[in-house]
Amino acid sequence: MTSALTLPTNGQLASSWLETPPGSQPLPGELDHLLALRVPGLIATRRHLHSHPELSGTEFETAALIARELSLAGLNPRLLPKGNGVICDVNGRPDGPVVALRADIDALPLDDPKDVPYRSTVAGVCHACGHDVHTSILLGVGMLLAQLADLGELDGRVRLIFQPAEEILPCGSLEVIEAGGLDDVVQIFALHCDPNLPVGQVGLRVARSPPPPTTSPSDSPGRVDTPPART
């Protein structure tokens, strides 16, 4: 049996790329072409992570896989002190802001009842909250941003945060903060897949001046939210 450190090479977990949604705007720097090339591998990565979930605080192989994939993209990731999370800066022009993008990477203590080739291989552990999706999306974004930085078209610095232990308290966001993950950050964006939205639509929820994050910036008590906007 493979571990989460070893992606399959036989293409069994890959999938085809969907057509570009109507009305979408082209990405800068010919990134649409790069994205089309990357998507099958990212889908394979997501399904592999789904097959090899790790519980909160024990995401060591997941973090190692993330760090390896970012290194292959020419970036310089660093593991959190415990080795179960990753922080990686994509450096653009030095006069711009530092913006962070965050994905959670832990799984839940649940069985995986699906009858699919990429179902969980770990009894009683499953990516039932979509963190395998979040991780793969942020990996893909990091790869595209690295390309944009190489072209000299990235303003400032983008910090990729792969947070462990989002599903428990005390949570992994505290480890990220202690490791300097939010140093110099002026804005942070998190994402979460939502089965209520159709493919091709994105919902936005904005928090204004929240206190320090609990399980994630979007989970902070006392937040002031705007209604989700769909695009």
Q: How confident is the model at residue 225 (pLDDT cuts 50, 70, 90)?
A: very low
Cross-strand pairs, 204? 229
Is the peptide bond prior to 170 cis by the omega test (within 30 degrees of 0)?
A: yes
Q: Is the pLDDT of residue 230 over 70?
A: no
> Do residues 160 and 90 lie in contact, with contact meaning Cβ atoms separated by under 8 Å?
yes
In sequence order, which residues have a C-beta less than 8 Å from that of residue 108 and are 6 or more positions away?
53, 55, 125, 126, 127, 128, 129, 167
pLDDT 10s digits, 76-97 = 999 999 999 999 999 998 888 9
Q: What is the dihedral of CA 31, 37, 38, 39, to 10 degrees?
A: 100
Inside any domain, residue 9: no
Determine, yes or no, domain membership for 20.
no
What's the pLDDT tens digit per position in 106-139? 999 999 999 999 999 999 999 999 999 999 999 9
In a domain, 34, yes or no: yes
pTM of the model: 0.82
Structural domain span for residue 208:
30-230
Estimate the crossing angle of helix 131-150 against helix 60-72, to 10 degrees: 20
CA 56-99-144 angle, 5° bins: 85
pLDDT-based confidence at residue 68 (cuts at 50, 70, 90): very high
Is 8 among the domain residues?
A: no
Domain-located, residue 47: yes
What is the CATH number for 82? 3.40.630.10
Beta carbons within 8 Å of 79's beta carbon, 6+ residues apart: 63, 64, 67, 85, 86
Q: Give dist(CA 58, CA 118) in Å, integer.
A: 21
How many domains, the chain? 1
CA distance linking residue 146 with residue 29, whole number of Å: 11
Residue 15 lies in a domain: no
Under a CB-based contact definition with an 8 Å cutoff, are residues 73 and 123 in contact? no
What b/e string do you get for 204-227 counting C-beta neighbours within 10 Å, with b at 16 or more? eeebeebeebbbbbbebeebeeee
Rounded to whole angstroms, how far apart are CA atoms 151 and 58?
Answer: 37
For residue range 152-192, list pLDDT tens digits in order: 999 999 999 999 999 999 999 999 999 999 999 999 999 88
Task: Identify whether 164 is part of a domain.
Answer: yes
User: DSSP strand E in 66-137: where?
Assistant: 78-79, 86-91, 93-104
Residue 14 domain-assigned (yes or no): no
